[in-house]
Amino acid sequence: MREIVSEEALLEIVHEDEEFVVVNKVSGMLSVPGRGPEKRDCVAERVREMYPGCPEQPSVHRLDMDTSGLLVVARNTEAHRALSIQFQKRETRKRYFALLDGEVDTDSGTIELPFRLDIDNRPYQIYDPVHGKVGITHWEKVSVEAGLTRVAFIPITGRTHQLRVHSAHERGLGVPIVGDPLYGRGTGPAQMKLHAAELGFQHPRTGDELNFSSTPLF
């Protein structure tokens, strides 16, 4: 495991080879640059600094800033293309863990909820059965701890804020993720308890099946 130290956080490399790296992102760090110089620091920029020759935009997928966990970043354009196709075709395997701010009655299920961006309140997503696109998530209750519910999510689609909306909305689980500043009671950055714990895909060059895992800190 390799780490790079910055002023704000450590960048933990779970796997590296000539084609890509897998990063265990901390909560509070951007996946890709935002607008403005104060939002340049992110996983993609740090990987480019560590591995000269990376594409200008090496990220294959993204995690929300306050979501922690596994993120794959390509080291060349061929790997970026091959990995991106797997994500677009939903051929990857992803599993998240979350701590919800309350108790969930049922034990498991599938959430299918149409939602879209609220253009008057970006980046907030709103339920819209007419114009929204459906997000699909399988979920399973893991445990209940002091009135909080630990759940595992397997997202089938990859919509913006999908797991957060599916947790909080009354047509989903009806219980927001602990620390969510948009859909729950979070009051600041790096408080949200949502972690990308498992990631699987085919190696972009060899085709070998690869699986990576990361334990949440909550």
CB atoms within 10 A of CB 64: 21
Phi, psi of 73 (to 5 degrees): -130, 130
- Beta bridge partners, 152, equal 97, 140
Q: Active-site residue 64, yes or no?
A: yes
Q: How far is CA 117 from CA 94, 128, 149, 154, in A?
A: 23, 9, 27, 22
**Which residue is it, tokens 């009806």?**
174
Catalytic residue among 64, 66, 101, 180: 64
- For residue 155, whether the previous peptide bond is cis, meaning omega lies within 30 degrees of 0, is no
3-state helix/strand/coil string of 150-208: EEEEEECCCCCCHHHHHHHCCCCCCCCECCCCCCCCCCCCCCCCEEEEEEEEECCCCCC
**Catalytic positions:** 64
